[in-house]
Amino acid sequence: MNLSTLRAPKRSSENRKRVGRGMGSGMGKTSTRGHKGQGSRSGSRIMRGFEGGQMPLHRRLPKRGFVNIFREEYAVVNLSDLAALGETNITPDFLRARGLVNGKDKRVKILGDGELKTALTVLAHKFSKSAEEKIKNAGGSTTVIEIKAVAPLKNKFKAARAEKRAGKQQKKQA
């Protein structure tokens, strides 16, 4: 690529559509909205997927299965990748810095694909049995990073309500 082959992006030099600027513009009078109907009114906004009263596609199609909202996703790293790093102390932050793990909040799971010849000290959120076995056999150690469990919101609300009731009962007794 050089200066003689550079071109402006498509449609970058076109002027934006200016509606309601007189009959000579070709977009006067109804300003491209047509006569009458929902779309011609001010403030009209049709919901996404609306098909004019016909049953929308997302409701016509059958639904299958469910989505587990408590699913925990792990970024997986194999032992072969760890061996290639040439480092003895391995943490999730180190793996992120090297580009083996994307996303700052992702949990890391070490899988046992590959061979280890050096002793490694590995910190991760989860290990497969084979990975843990191979690291220990190579003379290394594994440490599981504990994940703090977050109480569901429902329980927080119940606890707050219970405290409120207890406070009211104490006031009645006093």
pTM of structure = 0.55
**Which residues lie below 8 Å from residue 142, measured CB to CB, with a gap of 6+?**
110, 122, 124, 127, 131, 132, 135, 136
What are the pLDDT digits (tens) for 23-36? 999 999 999 999 99
* pLDDT value of residue 147: 80
d(CA 110, CA 143): 11
Q: How confident is the prediction for the chain on average, in pLDDT? A: 88
Cβ distance 75 to 107 under 8 Å? Answer: yes
| DSSP code per residue over 12-52 | TTSPPP--SS-GGGT--TTTTS-SSSGGGSTT--PPTT-BT
Whose tokens are 């220990």? That residue is 136
74: amino acid identity, one letter: Y
What are the pLDDT digits (tens) for 2-17? 999 999 999 899 999 9
- Classify residue 139: in a domain, yes or no: yes
CATH, residue 117 = 3.100.10.10
Cβ distance 62 to 118 under 8 Å? Answer: no
- Classify residue 131: in a domain, yes or no: yes
Query: Could you list the residue range(s) of the whole structural domain that residue 128 is in?
Result: 74-144
Whose tokens are 């690529």? That residue is 1
- Classify residue 93: in a domain, yes or no: yes
Domain count of the chain? 1
| Structure tokens that stand for 158 in this block | 């119940």
pLDDT at 172 over 80: no
What are the pLDDT digits (tens) for 72-120? 889 999 999 999 988 899 999 999 999 999 987 789 999 999 999 999 9
- Classify residue 19: in a domain, yes or no: no
* pLDDT value of residue 155: 66
- Classify residue 102: in a domain, yes or no: yes
- Classify residue 86: in a domain, yes or no: yes
Cross-strand bridge partners of residue 142: 122
If pLDDT is split at 50, 70 and 90, which confidence band does 153 have?
low
- Classify residue 166: in a domain, yes or no: no
* pLDDT value of residue 151: 57
- Classify residue 127: in a domain, yes or no: yes
Does residue 106 or residue 21 have the better pLDDT?
A: 21
